[in-house]
A and B are shown apart, each in its own frame.
Chain A
């Protein structure tokens, strides 16, 4: 039997989008888990209805497992949940108005729950993180140097890193290569060869763009919720 995960991010308070994704998933075979990789909130619209739905799923909803993302980090920092740090990154990039807009979109009753969300999940040999092990803001794309991608995988010791920060959908596989290393110390010299491990980084998209991952066959499907071509057009019926 097919077993697949759905990976979603960047909803930013958009309940309509989330609803479309849930409808898609209802029509898709084999989806056993729904991971929401952060950016549940955002400054554009009131986020309370979406947060209510994520916390209290409707009957028939696939139950979401959420982690926090860049926007939650900004919100929580500004609300005093991150020690002395404030929403500095947001303030610096978009100014004071963006900070107050963000504060206004989330009812404080949700803060404790948001603060309880984890940085990431490790499932099977996969890491699910908003940015990367290095930082929630780490913006990994298919153009990022493979050396950096490999480093992020190595830090977690996983075979696949699912990331959302870039909002892009991509599947970049490391397929080969190697490196020679020579260490000289007071005991002498030694040589070492190391191969590139077969690992990959997956950008899952944001908003309507989400990803299905078939665990058994290691296949990625990059989808857009509500679009006519999927799931049927791509053979998901």
Chain B
């Protein structure tokens, strides 16, 4: 059976509607959302209400968490001070706009969802703020999936969709301890695991302005990355009219975050 995974809607209603229409057209009725319903974009209430109305299973994103808990993320969430300032502005604006009812919906979201061997999270099983980038250390990537006890890990947060297969892994070790002296050494065979990043519906950064999401077939395990065009101009105009930083509109109309990659992808916020 095919099911769809969406992430990082970021208060972009035209993009969210376009993606849901695309999914509906294919007759797919199981949808999982990996969070970040709000932040950056101009329609936080509308997007939250759309997800609520459709009853889409959703886990909490980094923005959803920060809106509820207050901005206590360490600076690691932002690649630069400038980005941090803009992030704070957007945070404040979103906080002012969101209704109490929508805030309590965001607060009620779980940090992960599990269906059999599939695990759904926003950033990583460790944290909503951790980036699992496509080229991160392969062993560390496998550790995230394995420690969480999953075969396939679905995540978002990077806004770049990808499918990563980790296979034929092994680690050889040699042990010396106080009582037994030296050991001959052994080899651990690592299991095959997959990480699927759903990209971003409302704030794509993969080099195109199209919204992205993924479809997974749970019988064949095949994953398809989907791109959907939507009316970017409408969202950009709404961003400017809302008084949000213009760079968010610029970014949407380019499809990437200019010079704003997270520097240390392996960094885990320890707050």
List residues of A whose CB falls within 8 A of some B CB: 134, 142, 145-148, 150-151, 154-155, 168-187, 192, 194, 196, 205, 209, 220, 222
Are A134's CB and B268's CB within 8 A?
Answer: yes
A155 vs B266: C-alpha distance when bound (angstroms) = 6
Pick the residue among A148, A173, A184 that contacts B173 (CB under 8 A): A173
**Residue of chain B at shortest CB distance from A156:** B266
Listed by A's residue number, 13 A-B pairs whose Cβ atoms lie within 8 Å are: A142-B177, A147-B146, A150-B139, A154-B139, A154-B266, A170-B176, A172-B173, A173-B176, A174-B171, A178-B170, A179-B166, A186-B208, A187-B207
A48 vs B182: C-alpha distance when bound (angstroms) = 39
Least Cβ–Cβ distance between A184 and chain B, in angstroms: 5
- A182: which B residues are within 8 A, CB to CB? 164-165, 167
Are A181's CB and B165's CB within 8 A?
Answer: yes
Are B168's CB and A179's CB within 8 A?
Answer: yes
| Chain B residues numbered 164-188 whose CB sits less than 8 Å from any CB in chain A | 164-178, 185, 187-188
* CB-CB under 8 A for A185 and B134, given A171-B177, A177-B171: yes
Are B147's CB and A196's CB within 8 A?
Answer: no
Q: Does B22 contact A (CB under 8 A)?
A: no
Least Cβ–Cβ distance between A138 and chain B, in angstroms: 12
- B160: which A residues are within 8 A, CB to CB? 185
**Residue of chain B at shortest CB distance from A224:** B178
Least Cβ–Cβ distance between B46 and chain A, in angstroms: 28
- B173: which A residues are within 8 A, CB to CB? 146, 172-175
Number of A-B residue pairs with CB-CB distance less than 8 Å in the complex they form = 131
Are B143's CB and A148's CB within 8 A?
Answer: yes
- B91: which A residues are within 8 A, CB to CB? none
- B178: which A residues are within 8 A, CB to CB? 169-170, 205, 209, 222
Least Cβ–Cβ distance between A122 and chain B, in angstroms: 15
* CB-CB under 8 A for A142 and B266, given A183-B134, A183-B162, A186-B227: no
**Residue of chain B at shortest CB distance from A172:** B175
Are A146's CB and B188's CB within 8 A?
Answer: yes
Are B140's CB and A155's CB within 8 A?
Answer: yes
Are A142's CB and B163's CB within 8 A?
Answer: no
* CB-CB under 8 A for A177 and B169, given A155-B266, A194-B137: yes
Q: Does B35 contact A (CB under 8 A)?
A: no
Least Cβ–Cβ distance between B195 and chain A, in angstroms: 9
Secondary structure call for the A interface: strand
- A168: which B residues are within 8 A, CB to CB? 177
Are B168's CB and A180's CB within 8 A?
Answer: yes
- B167: which A residues are within 8 A, CB to CB? 179-182
Q: Mark B136-169, 1 if CB is under 8 A from A, else 0.
A: 0111111100110000000000001111111111
| Chain B residues numbered 96-143 whose CB sits less than 8 Å from any CB in chain A | 134-135, 137-143
**Residue of chain A at shortest CB distance from B196:** A184
A182 vs B166: C-alpha distance when bound (angstroms) = 7
Are B163's CB and A183's CB within 8 A?
Answer: yes
Pick the residue among A169, A172, A184 that contacts B174 (CB under 8 A): A172
A148 vs B167: C-alpha distance when bound (angstroms) = 17
Least Cβ–Cβ distance between A154 and chain B, in angstroms: 5
Least Cβ–Cβ distance between B10 and chain A, in angstroms: 19
Q: Does B190 contact A (CB under 8 A)?
A: yes
A154 vs B141: C-alpha distance when bound (angstroms) = 11
Least Cβ–Cβ distance between A213 and chain B, in angstroms: 13
A30 vs B135: C-alpha distance when bound (angstroms) = 43
> 9 shortest A-B CB distances, which residue pairs?
A179-B169, A222-B178, A176-B172, A151-B143, A177-B170, A169-B178, A185-B162, A170-B177, A177-B171
- B164: which A residues are within 8 A, CB to CB? 181-184
A192 vs B133: C-alpha distance when bound (angstroms) = 14
- A145: which B residues are within 8 A, CB to CB? 146, 188
Least Cβ–Cβ distance between A207 and chain B, in angstroms: 13
Which of B173, B177, B212 has the most chain A CB atoms closer than 10 A to its own CB? B173
Are B172's CB and A154's CB within 8 A?
Answer: no
- A150: which B residues are within 8 A, CB to CB? 139-140, 143, 171
Q: Does B225 contact A (CB under 8 A)?
A: yes
A168 vs B175: C-alpha distance when bound (angstroms) = 13
**Residue of chain B at shortest CB distance from A141:** B177
- A209: which B residues are within 8 A, CB to CB? 178
